[in-house]
Amino acid sequence: MASNDYNYSEEHIRTLDWIEHMRLRPGMYIGKLGDGTSPDDGIYILVKEVVDNAIDEFAMGFGKKIEIRVDKQQVMVRDYGRGIPLGKVIDCVSKMNTGAKYDSKAFQKSVGLNGVGTKAVNALSSWFRVQSTREGKSKVAEFEKGVITKDNKIAASTDRDGTLVEFIPDPDIFRNFHFIPEYLENQIWNYAYLNAGLTIQFNGQKYYSQNGLLDLLERKTNKEELRYPIIHLKGEDIEIAMSHNNDYGEEYYSFVNGQFTTQGGTHLAAFREAVVKTIREFYKKDYDASDIRQSIIAAVSVRVQEPVFESQTKTKLGSLNMAPDGPAVRTFINDFVRRELDNYLHKNPQAAEALQKRIMQSERERKEISGIKKLANERAKKANLHNRKLRDCRFHFSEDKDPRANDTMLFITEGDSASGSITKVRNVETQAVFSLKGKPLNVFGLTKRVVYENEEFNLLQHALNIEDGVDGLRYNQIVIATDADVDGMHIRLLLLTFFLQFFPEVVKNGHLYILQTPLFRVRNKKETIYCYDEEEKQKAMAKLGGKPEITRFKGLGEISPEEFAGFIGDDIRLEPVMIGTEKKVQELLQYYMGKNSMQRQEFIIKNLRIEKDTIIENATVEETTES
C-alpha cells in the first residue's frame, strides 16, 4: 500500500507567474542551458531571440541595418525598423502572449509567433533594458530578472526609429558562461545569407551578403574541392544551393523564415528526397540514394506562413503547409527541385557529367567495402561492445529522440586507469565511456575501408552509430579525453584525423570536444585549487601564500576518481573542435598528419624554443614538488 506519510492537499498546489516559471523551467523556453561551449547553449538562444525580432522588421521592409555588440557578457541589439509601439513596450517584453506576431498582416512570414522570445530573455537576464523610438519620441524601461526597475516616461528623441535591447544573461542560471566569438559570427553570417541586402554590424565588423545561399556555400567550401560549380536556384519563398565534393558524408544547412533549423525537419527531408528522385529521373538510372547524397553539401531555405516548430527553440520544423490554404511543404519543395534542378542539369551538361561521375565513384566505393563491412559488423557483435569497450549511459535512445537535443556525452579515453576513473564518477544517466587500446592508426590518405578493417575504429563507429551519417548519432557531445602530454596530444590528433577524414559532419555540426583537465593542483592545509594553465597557477600561489604544495599532473590516471568527479560534473570544461571557414580540411590534414614537408619542419624548428621553455618550466615545478 502507498504510504500516508506525505499528505497531498490544496496547499501543495502552486500557481507560478510567468517569471517564476521561466526561471524554474528555462529549458522549456530556450533548450539546454550550458555555459557557451556548445552552439545551441542557452546564451546563444537569448541572442537569437532578440535578433530574430530585428530580422522580422527587415523582412517586412523596415530597416536595412542591424547593430550587434557583445562585450564580454553584455549583449546589445539595435535595429532601425518601426520600433515597438510606445504604449506597449513594457507589455511586449514582460507579458506572456503579447506581441504583433499573432497578426499575420503585421508579420506575414516571421520566425516568432508565440510572443515568448524577449520575455524569456528578460526573465533569464540579471539586467535587461529596452528602448523604442518612433516618430521623434522614445520609451525606455529596465528590468532585473524580469522585474521592472525603471519605467521612464515617453520623451522627445532625435534618434532614428527602431528598437534597442540590451541584456546580461543571469549568471545564477548560466553558470560560468562565456560567449565564443566563432559561434556568434556563424549566427550572424546565417542572418546575412538569409536576408540578402541586409547589413549587420557586429562588434564593428560588417556582415553582408548579396547572393544569399550561394555566398553561404562559397564560404563553407573550398572551390578547388568541388566536383562542379555550385548550383543556385531561387523561387518565390524558396532558395537552394548545392554541390558535391570529395568528403565523406552529407552536409546540410536548412532554414525556415531565416531560422537555422539545426535539426532539420520536414523541409530538409523533402529536399533530400527530391534530389534523389530528380537525379534518378534525369539519368534514367535507379542509383542508390546513399550514392547520390554521398559528399553532397547543400543549403535550403523556405519561407512559410505560421511555421510549426517542434520546440520553442525552433531547431526542427514540423509538418505544415506553405500557407493555411497552400500546398504542403513536401509537395512544394519536391515540385520546385524536380523542375529547377532538372532544367539546370539539361542546360549545364558539364555539371551533369561531373555529378554523375561523383555518384558512380560513391557507388564503386560502397560496393568495394560491402564484403568487409558485413564481416566487420559481425565482429562488432561478437566483441560484445557494451561490455568490452563501451560503458554506456542509461539514457533511452530511440528513433524519435534526436541526441542533439539532449545532454548525452561519450568520453573517448586511452588506458584502463583513465577510463576507470571516469567510469567510477560519471553521471550514469547521460555520460558514457569508450576505452581505446593504445594509439589509433593514422588514417590520413586512406579510404573508408580502413574503418572496417581496424577493430578500434570499427567498434568506435558502432558505439557512436555514425556508420550511415550523423542522423543516427547516439551522443550529443563526443569528448576526447587524453593526457596533457606529448603522447596524449598525439592520440588526440589521430582521433581528430579519424573524424575529419571519414565523419567530418560530426565536427562541422559541433559534436566534437576536447576535455580540459587541470595541469596543476595547488594546495595548503586549508584549501586546494585546481589550475588549468600557468596563469591560474600563479594566481592560486598568490592567493594561498607561503609555500603551497604544487603538483603537476602528467596523466589522467594520476587524478583520483574523487578529484575527477569535479572535472566532469557541472563545472566541466570543454573546448569545442571548430573548423574555421577559411580552413581547408584536406590541407590541414596534409600539413599535420601527412608525410613530412619542409613547411612543417620549418614550423617545428621555429617553435622549438617555446616547447623547450615549457619542458624546462614543467621540470622545475616537478622538482619543487618532490623536494
For the annotated catalytic residues, the residue numbers are 414, 483, 485, 487
* 136 close to 158: Cβ distance less than 8 angstroms: yes
Please name which of 125, 114, 147 lies closest in space to residue 46, comparing C-alpha atoms.
125
Torsional class of 71: left (φ above 0), alpha (ψ -120 to 50), beta (otherwise): beta
Residues in CB range of 362: below 8 A, 6 or more apart:
290, 291, 292, 294, 295
How many whole angstroms separate alpha carbon 412 and alpha carbon 515? 10
Rounded to 10 degrees, the C-alpha dihedral 372/376/382/386 comes to -170
By CB atoms closer than 10 A (0-12, 13-18, 19+), residue 449 is middle
CA 400 to chain centre: 20
How many whole angstroms separate alpha carbon 388 and alpha carbon 444? 27
Neighbours of 314 (CB within 10 A): 27
How many whole angstroms separate alpha carbon 430 and alpha carbon 409? 6
Grid coordinates representing 9 are 492537499
Name the DSSP letter for residue 341.
Answer: H
* 247 close to 361: Cβ distance less than 8 angstroms: no
Please name which of 489, 518, 504, 499 lies closest in space to residue 414, comparing C-alpha atoms.
489
- Residue 232 amino acid letter: H
Grid coordinates representing 355 are 555529378
Please name which of 295, 342, 353, 322 lies closest in space to residue 502, comparing C-alpha atoms.
295
Q: Does an H or E element contain 137, and which? A: strand 137-144
Q: What is the CA radius of gyration of the chain?
A: 27
Q: Which residues of 587-621 are buried (b: 16+ CB within 10 A; e: fewer)?
A: ebbbeebbeeeeeeeeeeeeeeeeeeeeeeebeeb
